Amino acid sequence: MLKKKSTRILLPILFIALAVFCAQGFIGAVRQTHTSAVERDFIAALAQLQNSPPGIGRVERFVARLRAIDTNHAPVEVKQALQNYASAIQQSVNGAKAGHGFASNDAAIAEARQRFIDAAHEYD
């Protein structure tokens, strides 16, 4: 079967290509699984926020919960976008405590949230 030189060269190349394809599929599945876990925890944090009584403490607990989400194996884009979103909210809390109100940072929060959603959907 492997008497022809072209067959001896082509067969290992095909096996390597198949191995690379399978490895990329596995990596994609791992990224998707971890991104889904981050999304699930994000949604749980939002639900807790919505069910909490009004006040700065509510938002601070939300930021703490966002920062507690395990992103160890999530894609870098998802990790960074979630960190940026939590930071934007924290800046808003800091501004509110300084007397500037929450609304001063709404655009930055909305933009950071959209970047997180886009990054998460990239791996769905």
- Give, for all 124 residues of the chain, the pLDDT tens digit: 556 777 778 878 888 878 788 887 877 777 788 899 999 999 999 999 999 898 889 999 999 999 999 998 899 999 999 999 999 999 988 988 887 776 777 889 999 999 999 999 988 7
Q: Cβ(78)–Cβ(35) under 8 Å?
A: yes
Tokens at residue 118, please? 């886009």
Predicted local confidence at residue 9, as pLDDT: 80
Amino acid at 107: A
C-alpha 46/C-alpha 38 separation (Å) is 12
Class of domain 9-121: mainly alpha
Predicted local confidence at residue 2, as pLDDT: 55
Predicted local confidence at residue 33, as pLDDT: 84
C-alpha 59/C-alpha 122 separation (Å) is 27
